[in-house]
Amino acid sequence: MNEKVFEKVTQYIDALAAKLGVAAEHVYGVLVRQQVAEGIVDIVVGTLVLTLLAVVLMILYKKYGLPTVEDETDFMFLLLAAAIPVGLIILAGSYGIEELSTGIKQVINPEYYAIREILDAIK
């Protein structure tokens, strides 16, 4: 980290600590613990989204099974009819995976995300 950025981070933490009436180390510790808490929430949300997506897909599969295609017209209709649900499934899956990934990283390395939050607040 270059000197300017480190100096700004230190000033920000000191200013925040002064406003709260606590030591700067306490503020940094709180930020680190907050990242762990946010990481756990992200893991839970990501897991729930992916689980819900899997359950919905299983229910739909059991109810409707795999479609059969008789001719080219059926295939085109099936393709158009499946475009929106498949797009929604991809969006939900991407969101769940992103939440899960971010949560795991926040729990493993909360200091990085605390510093990143401080730098985002400075900008």
Give the chain's domain count: 1
73 φ/ψ sector (left φ>0, alpha ψ -120 to 50, else beta): alpha
pLDDT cut 90: percent of the chain above it: 37
CB-count exposure of residue 64 (10 Å: 0-12, 13-18, 19+): exposed
Q: What is the pLDDT of residue 101?
A: 95
Tell me: pLDDT of 22 over 70. Answer: no
Range of the domain at 113: 3-122
Percent of the chain with pLDDT over 70: 89
Q: What is the DSSP string of 27-81?
A: HHHHHHHHHHHHHHHHHHHHHHHHHHHHHHHHHHHHHH-S----SHHHHHHHHHH
Query: What is the overall mean pLDDT for the chain?
Result: 83
What number is the average pLDDT over the span 111-118?
A: 85
* Res. 28: pLDDT tops 90: no
Which single residue is written with the structure tokens 């709260």? Answer: 20
